A and B are shown apart, each in its own frame.
Chain A
Amino acid sequence: MTSEPITQPPINVTRRLNPPPRSLSARLVRHPEARFGLVCALLLVGLALFGPLLAPYDPNQPDFRAKLEAPSTEHWLGTDQSGRDQFSRVLDGGQRTLGTALLVLSCIFGIGLVIGTIAGMSGGIVDIVLMRLVDILMALPSIVLAIAIVGVLGPGFENLVLALVISWWAYYARMARSYVLNARQRPDIIAARLAGIGWGRIMVGHVLPGVASQLLIIVTLDLGSMIAAIAGLSFLGLGVQPPAAEWGAMLSESRLYVTLAPWLLLGPLVPIFGAVLAANLLGNALRDTLDPGVNR
């Protein structure tokens, strides 16, 4: 410590009169589009969590006396070709669509974080090999690769998840790596290194929180495309298999009856659209809040 205090004119420590709220959630709530997205997202999450409990009928119980019925007070969204209540199936299916999207994105987040960080920190041959792999994977449209993998492995939930993870993680790894590479030159990290803090602590304290929040923005921005991809692949018969209710698979079935029972289409279509819209709004809001100056 210096024994002699430095004489200074008193510094007028004025804090901003209206400091922006410190917590992210409070800042998000101020964003008007985010508010709408949040409400939609909460509704959808609620639907995914409690939907099956709210379903008035057993979603998989056929009733051959009531096939392809139009919407009524009894069956709000009508019944499908086996007489199953479409409303119950929509409530039941949300969990599968949204849950799968979250599962796939968490896997991608983890893989991207680990591989990107390893590549960025190690440099040299490890970095070159990993980044070549990333380049190659990114040179194939991810939806094409996913179709091919699930097509070869055979349809089903596990293969769908596997195919999406394989075809989607590369971008995350590349983002994580470039963040780590930038961070290594950051002044606060140079200061910590000179002070004697080891790389491990620097990673945990300074680098990883930044990488994680950066990837989290991309996860939110990608959530909409992921929901669309899952529903789309299931629609093509490559994802969740009947009779399990899933929005994309239900769309596929309803398409066959589009002339006979056109009402069946909107039941799963509207929630898919709503989920993608909510995810996109949330993602944009999160990006604007965390990286001001973009898109303004």
Chain B
Amino acid sequence: MMQPVLQYDQVHVQYANGTHAVRGVSFSLYPGECLALVGESGCGKTTMARVALGLLPPSAQIEGSIRLGDTEIVGASAETIRRLRGLVAGLVAQNPFEACNPLDPVADHVAEAWHAHDQTPPRGLIGTALGQLGIAGALHQMRRYPHQWSGGMLQRATIAAAAAHQPLVMIADEPTSALDADRADATLAALRETGAAVLLVSHDIGVVARHADRVAVCYAGRIVEIGPCAEVLTQPRHPYTRGLLAATPHASAGLPIPLAGTPPKLNEPIAGCAFAPRCAFAVPTCRTDDPPLVDGVACPVLNAAGEPKALHRGDEILEMQPFPPFWRKRAAAVVVEARKVAKRYDRGARAVAAVQTASLAVQHGEIVGISGPSGCGKSTLLRLLATIEIPSAGEVWLDGALASRGGTPHLLNPLARTGFVMPIFQDPLGSLDARWPIWQSITEPLTAPHRARRLSIPQRRVIAREWLESVGLDHIDLDARPHELSVGQCQRVAIARALTAEPRLIIADEPTSALDASVAAAILHLLATTAHNGTAMVVVSHDRPLLTVLCDRVLTMDDGVLLS
């Protein structure tokens, strides 16, 4: 077998604040291959990758052994590690705009690969390298500044910088999560073309499946399963891998299945298997014995039992089956209709058309998805439908009555401000007033002047409790402030607030993009249930598989035009 270019042996990382981010990780990366570290936020995958370049704060304690090429990294002097950076191992960061110094032209960013090691870049090489990565007019483009580039192009430029000295290893930390889907594939293809072994950190199973050779699934600072992509992603063995894959939207499957529970806190000692508290297969020894990684899986129970045919996590899964669309109480009544709406913004001298033309009718109980790349105007269309903004041209009708019309600066239909439409936002924490206890946020719609009943505070708390139970937050403190809850819990509270108003239409702007897969799946179920009860819904997302499984129909928006 070939000599690995990067080898981890029982690596532990503990931060100064006590967080034990990496708890005994061993793996090898071989020349030219791509190994992906996948897992949800807080599983330690970024730390696992960065430690190889010595990029952790000096206060972090590192144990075990990491060999990069021929050099041992753990315990090496800062200067030794510095000499390896860029030459033996390169880094591609998440957001290319943040990775480049905003004050210098992109050429300087690429040239830094040489300047950092007191060398001068060979004449014309930067332009050639950029041109080879498919950047049109590279010689001219590279004199321009990062903010004048597009994300996909700039990410390729940072790859050119990382690959300048043909390093053995490229460490790519979520290199595509700031990019649109079609640019993600081109970026990863460029990364593979460098010929270096790639350690890819990603939460996006789809990207990993298309580009990685092997995958390591991380949970609570450990690798719980590792193996070739084709095996791990189609025949997962570890219960967590199964849960994670079941929670990931897949166009050919039904609604994703949420994973119960929350990951353990890494600043407290963990006894036994970290996943045991959430695991349906757990036996008593799971809670006391630490399972070693045997044959690529850290689960002795499954290894002993062989390959179980059907997956059952108790009875939950049966009840979590996706709702067949025909269950819904659909009626012909059109809840919201947009007729050739357009929206322009005046930005100084020039007018920017966010929405050029869009026509759409949504029926009672229907879920309509709108997908498209960032900046295509889908969020603006959503705001027009919700009458948060008035169109520049065209009309929006709510419940068969004209609500807003281009050229008329005010609303024409009072229905628009009665909780008829309620929103769900991308940022769950920001969508609740940080100062208010959650019961107050949830019942706020009931205090609107048009509601006949005046409610006392005890009554409001009872109602809030009922709605919280209906969104699956049974034991939550009514007086909790948003920052005391997890992001997923906040999004449930936000949904509860929308439901309290008993809306006929819910608009949701990227409702799950701030959430991890297992939490997002639960939110999708909530939305599906709400539509099942008759509320129409318009969901905007850049994630097309997600819309395919959730929605009755998915429309595409491109450059301000809604295609049907």
Contact A19–B484 (Cβ < 8 Å): yes
- In the complex, how many angstroms separate the beta carbon of A233 from the nearest chain B beta carbon? 38
B291 within 8 A of A: no
Partner of B450, one of A8, A9, A14, A196: A196
C-alpha spacing A252/B559, complex, angstroms? 69
Query: Which of A68-76, A137-145, A162-170, A185-193 binds B?
Result: A185-193
- In the complex, how many angstroms separate the beta carbon of B283 from the nearest chain A beta carbon? 20
Partner of A17, one of B260, B265, B431, B467: B265
Contact A194–B449 (Cβ < 8 Å): no
Count of A-B contacts with CB under 8 A?
Answer: 116
C-alpha spacing A12/B476, complex, angstroms? 9
23 contacts between A and B (CB under 8 A): A1-B470, A6-B471, A9-B260, A11-B472, A12-B260, A12-B262, A15-B477, A17-B268, A187-B427, A188-B430, A191-B498, A192-B445, A194-B386, A194-B388, A194-B417, A194-B422, A194-B501, A195-B444, A195-B445, A196-B419, A196-B449, A197-B445, A201-B447
B163 within 8 A of A: no
Known: A12-B262, A195-B419. 10 other contacts (CB 8 A): A6-B470, A6-B472, A11-B489, A13-B473, A15-B484, A194-B388, A194-B501, A195-B418, A195-B444, A201-B447
Find the A residue at minimum CB distance from B467.
Answer: A1
**Interface secondary structure of B, over-half rule:** loop
Find the B residue at minimum CB distance from A22.
Answer: B481
C-alpha spacing A262/B359, complex, angstroms? 84
Mask of B261-272 contacts with A, CB within 8 angstroms, 1/0: 110010010000
C-alpha spacing A13/B489, complex, angstroms? 9
Q: A1-B470, A6-B526, A187-B430 are in contact. Are A197 and B475 (CB under 8 A)?
A: no
Contact A16–B449 (Cβ < 8 Å): no
Contact B497–A191 (Cβ < 8 Å): yes
C-alpha spacing A5/B526, complex, angstroms? 11
C-alpha spacing A205/B441, complex, angstroms? 11
Residues of A within 8 A of B260 (CB): 9-12
- In the complex, how many angstroms separate the beta carbon of A139 from the nearest chain B beta carbon? 23
C-alpha spacing A194/B421, complex, angstroms? 6
Residues of B within 8 A of A9 (CB): 258, 260-261, 316, 320, 522
C-alpha spacing A196/B431, complex, angstroms? 17
B319 within 8 A of A: yes
Residues of B within 8 A of A25 (CB): none
Residues of B within 8 A of A15 (CB): 477, 480, 484
Contact B441–A188 (Cβ < 8 Å): yes
- Residue picked from A188, A205, A210, most chain B C-beta under 10 Å: A188
How many interface residues does A have (CB within 8 Å)? 35
- In the complex, how many angstroms separate the beta carbon of A82 from the nearest chain B beta carbon? 54
A32 within 8 A of B: no
Residues of A within 8 A of B533 (CB): 2, 4
Find the A residue at minimum CB distance from B522.
Answer: A8
Contact A2–B425 (Cβ < 8 Å): no
Residues of A within 8 A of B265 (CB): 17
A154 within 8 A of B: no
Contact B472–A8 (Cβ < 8 Å): yes
- In the complex, how many angstroms separate the beta carbon of A78 from the nearest chain B beta carbon? 52
C-alpha spacing A1/B501, complex, angstroms? 10
B104 within 8 A of A: no
- Residue picked from B433, B445, B499, most chain A C-beta under 10 Å: B433
Residues of B within 8 A of A8 (CB): 258, 472, 522, 525
A31 within 8 A of B: no
A206 within 8 A of B: yes
Chain B residues within CB distance 8 Å of chain A: 258, 260-262, 265, 268, 316, 319-320, 386-388, 416-419, 421-423, 425, 427, 430-433, 435-436, 441, 444-445, 447-451, 466-467, 469-477, 480-481, 484, 489, 494, 497-499, 501, 522, 525-526, 529, 533
Residues of A within 8 A of B494 (CB): 191
Find the B residue at minimum CB distance from A18.
Answer: B267
Find the A residue at minimum CB distance from B419.
Answer: A195
Residues of A within 8 A of B470 (CB): 1-2, 5-6
A242 within 8 A of B: no
C-alpha spacing A201/B448, complex, angstroms? 9
Chain A residues within CB distance 8 Å of chain B: 1-2, 4-17, 19, 22, 186-188, 190-198, 201, 205-206, 209-210
Find the A residue at minimum CB distance from B422.
Answer: A194
Residues of A within 8 A of B419 (CB): 194-196
Contact A191–B261 (Cβ < 8 Å): no
Contact B522–A188 (Cβ < 8 Å): no
C-alpha spacing A16/B477, complex, angstroms? 12
Contact A187–B423 (Cβ < 8 Å): yes
Residues of B within 8 A of A11 (CB): 260, 472-475, 489
C-alpha spacing A194/B425, complex, angstroms? 13
- In the complex, how many angstroms separate the beta carbon of A97 from the nearest chain B beta carbon? 34
Find the B residue at minimum CB distance from A209.
Answer: B435
C-alpha spacing A207/B427, complex, angstroms? 19
Q: A11-B489, A13-B475, A15-B477 are in contact. Are A195 and B435 (CB under 8 A)?
A: no
C-alpha spacing A164/B504, complex, angstroms? 55
Partner of B525, one of A6, A193, A210: A6
Q: A11-B474, A206-B433, A210-B435 are in contact. Are A187 and B484 (CB under 8 A)?
A: no
C-alpha spacing A122/B371, complex, angstroms? 36
Q: A1-B466, A187-B430 are in contact. Are A195 and B501 (CB under 8 A)?
A: yes
- In the complex, how many angstroms separate the beta carbon of A154 from the nearest chain B beta carbon? 45
C-alpha spacing A191/B507, complex, angstroms? 11
- Residue picked from A4, A6, A8, most chain B C-beta under 10 Å: A8
Find the B residue at minimum CB distance from A207.
Answer: B433
Partner of A187, one of B258, B387, B425: B425
Residues of A within 8 A of B498 (CB): 191
- In the complex, how many angstroms separate the beta carbon of A125 from the nearest chain B beta carbon? 15
Partner of A196, one of B387, B448, B469: B448
- In the complex, how many angstroms separate the beta carbon of B15 from the nearest chain A beta carbon? 16
C-alpha spacing A190/B262, complex, angstroms? 31
Residues of A within 8 A of B529 (CB): 2, 6
Find the B residue at minimum CB distance from A201.
Answer: B447
Partner of A190, one of B388, B473, B501: B388
Q: A7-B319, A196-B445 are in contact. Are A191 and B423 (CB under 8 A)?
A: yes
- Residue picked from A6, A187, A191, A197, most chain B C-beta under 10 Å: A191
Contact B448–A195 (Cβ < 8 Å): yes
Q: A6-B526, A195-B422 are in contact. Are A16 and B432 (CB under 8 A)?
A: no
C-alpha spacing A198/B430, complex, angstroms? 20
- In the complex, how many angstroms separate the beta carbon of B499 from the nearest chain A beta carbon? 8
Contact B422–A191 (Cβ < 8 Å): yes
Residues of B within 8 A of A210 (CB): 435
C-alpha spacing A187/B261, complex, angstroms? 28
Contact B261–A188 (Cβ < 8 Å): no
Closest 5 CB pairs of A and B: A196-B448, A9-B260, A195-B445, A8-B472, A187-B431
Residues of A within 8 A of B472 (CB): 6, 8, 11
Contact A13–B320 (Cβ < 8 Å): no
Partner of B431, one of A1, A6, A188, A209: A188
Find the B residue at minimum CB distance from A19.
Answer: B484
Residues of A within 8 A of B387 (CB): 194
Find the B residue at minimum CB distance from A210.
Answer: B435
C-alpha spacing A86/B471, complex, angstroms? 69
- In the complex, how many angstroms separate the beta carbon of B484 from the nearest chain A beta carbon? 6
Find the A residue at minimum CB distance from B437.
Answer: A22
Residues of B within 8 A of A196 (CB): 417-419, 445, 448-451
- In the complex, how many angstroms separate the beta carbon of A182 from the nearest chain B beta carbon? 11
Residues of A within 8 A of B489 (CB): 11, 13
